[in-house]
Chain A
Amino acid sequence: MSELSINPGIEIRDSERELQRFRGRLGILGIFVLSLFGLLFLRFFYLQVIQHSHYSTLAEANRISVLPIAPHRGIIVDRNGIQLAHNYSAYTLEITPSKVSDLDTTIEELATVVEISPRDRRRFRKMLEESKRFESLPIRTRLSDEEIARFAAHRYRFPGVEAKARLFRQYPQGDMFSHVVGHIGRINQKEVEQLETEDRLANYRGSDYIGKTGLEQSYEKFLHGTTGVEEVEVDSGGRAVRTLSRTPPVSGNNLVLNLDAKLQEIAYNAFGERRGALVAIDPATGGVLAFVSKPGFDPNLFVDGIDPQSWAELNGSIDKPLLNRAAAGTYPPGSTFKPFMALAALFYGKRTPQQAISDPGYYMFGGHRFRDDKVGGHGMVDMYKSIVVSCDTYYYVLANDLGIDPLSRFMGMFGFGSRTGIDIGGESSGVLPSSDWKMRRFKQKWYAGETISVGIGQGYNSYTPLQLASATATLANNGVMFRPHIVNYVEDIRTREKSPIEPKPLRDLGLNPEHLKVIQDALVGVNKEGTSARVFADAPYVSAGKTGTAQVIAIKQNEKYVESRVAERHRDHALFIAYAPADKPTIALAVIAENSGFGARAAAPIARQVLDYYLLGKVPNKPAPSEED
């Protein structure tokens, strides 16, 4: 305390001392000021000289944003240029959830400006669950000009909601091509991972959609195109201020198909109310001319994301519209199997064409009675007659003589029981029974009695309509087999350069032409004087065909199948295979009409309409009749 007390006696000197002390303290503060400013300068030096390039990079990264420009997806046209999938520009109303404080209120208020259906809301909810918060999601698509104008007038009320012009995928042919053209849909997490492993994810920056099924999926790489890049200067709000550089996107390539849209339409409509599938192939190239699975569905529903209710309806329908019956549905071939059986008999030398059996109307084996359709039998039956009248007994005996494994090997050559390798996914392989197969499948040995019904296309046999059509085309093409392909060529949209999907002969089965001739003549006989003669009675061209009927449920030993007594879904499937013109075939096909009874009655008329159009240009005015209609 003493240093602070003032001695009144030396006031002047003391105040002088006080002033000196004050100045000393002020000097200390001066040093303090200098050192802190020095510290600031060091900090500035560190930031602006030593770390300059680091912060420059950060400032550039702030300033420049690389924006992807999504390419236009290639279009899909039929062989005559009819569009099956194309793009059109329309406005959508999109919400970025992270920029909206109360989604429900926003949507309610939005509904007072533009119409928002319950379906729109459900779809939006579903997308919201599957997406990230900062993505903008469409609440309404395909707005009219008037709606856009109305929204624009109320825009200020809806921060986080934007009207955007977008390209939409549209499938103008709707249901008819749903299973072959397929559809696109929003990219999901699994697809993102897939793209990442294939190193293609970068090209999908800016793309919301990817092919999900059909050609849209299998030709995704061609259709998608190359994403462009735009370097823009952005402000802190992410708004583009100006463009610095631009690499334009490269549009996807177009697909030109072998399919004939008109033929497809005729085939599709020929089924009327019936379910089923039809595949028509050009035997000389393997080009697929028609590919019908009925019922179809509207693929346009899937483009913007399907709403849960529509999905439940499609997925839960007893008619299974989402099932691609032509490639993934498997059916016993029934009697359409017989020509291939007969060919196997000639191939292995088990029969000559002239060798005949006497048919009592049944075949006894191991105490079981295998019945023929015709009570009392067909009398004396040689190979030609066995096909023309579709005699079961002949094939029961033949199957037993061949044995299951030789039979299986021969049918395997025609592609039965294995995927054809067609250029869309989702194909089933079906079942070509053999003793090996049974051991693998059931861990049981094959019983000789099981071979008998395989001979008439029943039993374990189960093939896709596509396999049946491909086998028929191979038969029509004298044993030279092509891989079925839907796309004819891929067209580069800029250079117009065409990259054909080459017809690739899979294999020449090396069949004896004389053997083939026997079978081909018999198939012509079927349409001329056999089971389908009435359907083809007045045809101005010569065609070859074979009817078939496949049991859906087993009929007990001594019971007769009576159609009217069987529930509709348990009725037999009607099948028909055909090709024409018989001497130089340009089209081969297989038809299955589910639960429609005898092949001659239900399936053959469908084939007739298809052949009539393809060969004569004749357009039917109503669905193919069942013969009794």
Chain B
Amino acid sequence: MHPAVRRLTLFLTRHIDGVLLSAILLLMFTGLLVLLSASNGSFVRTSGQLGNMLVALGVMWLFANIPPHYLQRLAVPVFLLGCALLVGVALFGDIVNGARRWLHVGVTRIQPSELMKIAIPLMLAWYFNRNESSLKLRNFLVAALMLAVPAALIVRQPDLGTAILITASGGYLIFLAGLPWRVIIALTVAGLSSMPFLWSALHDYQRQRILTLIDPTADPLGTGYHTIQSTIAVGSGGVLGKGWMNGTQTHLDFIPERTTDFIFAVYAEEFGLLGNAILLVLLLFLIARAMVITANAPTLFARLLAGSITMTFFTYAFVNMGMVSGILPVVGVPLPLISYGGTSLVSICLGFGILMSINTHKKLVQT
């Protein structure tokens, strides 16, 4: 091999984890196949998504090349910026579909809650890392507060789906940081007993979604429609599925949001239980690899950040598939790497980039 080519190959692959990448590419390919079917064979969305994937892979490569300690330094400013933007949204944000989620910045507009998905794990990991030698219960309280304030701002937008995911990502991190079991038990008891209170604090549409989950047929053309139709799609797929491009629920337009949040209904209808099992295994493989990286991360910061990223990815996948198969309420969570949409794709790949960076920079740290 020519030395220049060798140098270029090394430059491109030095910080890439082959196992993670192959799992990601397999999932992305599956996503493209399903998307092509979900858009009735039209290449418009599929080619658009292919573009999104290339961008996301670029971002992944970029973050794989950024050493973790740079990220550590960025944690506080990014977190503060995110919080400031969230406050800005609450004060000046645009209302789209009844929710105030977008903020105008110059020519474009952004959704600061997306930024918080990475800012919170960064910040909490940084915070626990800084107090590694003298962790007290007080530190957990502060961490919880750093999580609760932005989460509360996002709930108020309202965007319950994102708030739950952010809380989960922070929650996993606090758990991994060593939150004492007695606190965990106490919180669980307190959480269960405050359920009625939480119920009254929910928005009408959020309550409706939960009620719909319990009995989707109560409002078959309203809020129950999504769940009923996606459950029918999954169930009618059977063991082997109806075959690629042959799902009737999909192609006769019965599945709403079938390229984005409900794309799993298309997959399950066309590829059946066998396809679902393969997808679960593939996702588990990816998560397992990410956990191995987490377990071997060199610093507390890296471990916590990697663990949070891994578990957040799992949560996305679980919540989405649970929602489509009718065991979780309808919240706007995409199926990672499969659903159409650039934003979630980029933020997922950014996370994997960080994981790769943690894995490939640890030798440099140790040596």
Other-chain contact of B283, A4, A37, A233 (Cβ < 8 Å): A37
- How many contacting A-B pairs (Cβ < 8 A)? 132
**Least CB separation from A3: chain B residue:** B180
Quick check: A40 and B325 within 8 Å, CB to CB? yes
Q: B120 → chain A, closest Cβ, in Å?
A: 17
**Interface majority SS on A: helix, strand, loop or mixed?**
helix
- Best-surrounded residue of A3, A45, A56 (most CB of chain B within 10 A): A56
Q: A26 to B294, alpha carbons, bound, how many Å?
A: 8
Whole-angstrom distance between the Cβ of B300 and the nearest chain A Cβ: 8
Smallest CB separation, B155 vs chain A (Å): 23
Contact across chains for B273 and A37 when beta carbons are under 8 A apart:
no
- Kindly specify which of B98-106, B111-119, B195-203, B249-257 makes contact with the partner chain: B249-257
A365 CB–B CB distance under 8 Å: no
A62's partner among B134, B252, B276, B295 (CB-CB below 8 A) is B252
A95 to B64, CA, bound (A): 61
Quick one: CB contact mask for B47-81 with A, threshold 8 Å, 1 for yes?
Answer: 00000000000000000000000000000000000
| 25 CB-based A-B contacts, threshold 8 Å | A4-B137, A4-B178, A18-B178, A18-B300, A21-B178, A22-B176, A25-B176, A29-B307, A33-B284, A41-B277, A43-B322, A47-B234, A47-B325, A47-B326, A48-B273, A49-B238, A49-B273, A56-B235, A56-B236, A58-B232, A60-B248, A62-B248, A62-B249, A62-B252, A241-B252
A233 x B277 contact (CB < 8 A):
no
CA distance A139 to B301 in the complex (A): 72
Residues of B within 8 A of A45 (CB): 273
A236: which of B254, B294, B303, B327 is its contact (CB, 8 Å)? Answer: B254
Query: What is the chain A residue whose CB lies nearest that of B134?
Result: A6
- Flag if A4 contacts B135 (CB, 8 Å): yes
Partner among A23, A30, A51, A235 whose Cβ is within 8 Å of the Cβ of B253: A235
With A30-B291, A236-B252 given, can you name 14 additional A-B contacts, CB distance below 8 Å? Answer: A4-B137, A26-B176, A43-B322, A43-B327, A44-B268, A48-B237, A48-B268, A49-B238, A52-B235, A55-B235, A62-B248, A62-B254, A235-B253, A235-B254
B212 within 8 A of A: no
How many residues of B are in contact with the other chain, CB < 8 A? Answer: 49
Give complex CA distance A233, B248 in Å. 10
Which residues of B16-44 are within 8 A (CB) of A? none
Binary interface encoding of chain A residues 188-212 relative to chain B, with 1 for a CB under 8 A from any of its CBs, else 0 = 0000000000000000000000000
Interface residue? B233 (CB, 8 A): yes
Is A234 an interface position by the 8 A CB rule?
yes
Nearest B residue to A23, CB-CB:
B295
User: How far apart are the CA atoms of A5 and B136 in the complex, in Å?
Assistant: 7
Q: Which residues of B contact A44 (CB under 8 A)?
A: 234, 268, 273, 276-277, 325
Interface residues in A46-67 by Cβ distance below 8 A to B read 47-49, 51-52, 54-56, 58-60, 62-63
Kindly identify, within residues 105 to 134 of chain A, every residue whose CB is under 8 Å from any CB belonging to chain B: none
Instruction: Knowing A33-B284, A236-B254 are in contact, say whether A48-B249 is a contact too (CB < 8 A).
Output: no
B: residues with CB less than 8 A from A are 133-137, 172, 175-176, 178, 180, 229, 231-239, 248-249, 252-254, 268, 272-273, 276-277, 280, 283-284, 287-288, 291, 294-295, 300, 303, 307, 311, 314, 318, 321-322, 325-327
Which single member of B238, B248, B252 contacts A48 (CB below 8 Å)? B238
Instruction: Tell me the complex Cα distance, A48–B277, Å.
Output: 12
CA distance A602 to B239 in the complex (A): 89
Give min CB distance, B260 to chain A, whole Å.
Answer: 17
CA of A26 to CA of B178, assembled, Å: 10
Q: Does A366 contact B (CB under 8 A)?
A: no
- CB interface residues, A 1-31, toward B, < 8 Å: 1, 3-6, 8, 18, 21-23, 25-26, 29-30
Interface set of A (CB-CB < 8 Å, partner B): 1, 3-6, 8, 18, 21-23, 25-26, 29-30, 33-34, 36-37, 39-41, 43-45, 47-49, 51-52, 54-56, 58-60, 62-63, 233-237, 241
Task: Pick the contact of B137: A1, A29, A55 (CB < 8 A).
Answer: A1
Closest Cβ–Cβ distance, residue A399 to chain B (whole Å): 75
> Does A47 lie within 8 Å of B231, measured CB to CB?
yes
Contact of B276 among A33, A41, A60 (CB under 8 A): A41
Closest chain B residue to A8 by CB distance? B133
A41 to B280, CA, bound (A): 8
Interface centre among A39, A41, A62, A63 (most CB of B within 10 A): A62
Inter-chain CA distance A62–B314, complex, in Å, is: 33
Residues of A near B238 (CB, < 8 A) are 48-49, 52, 56
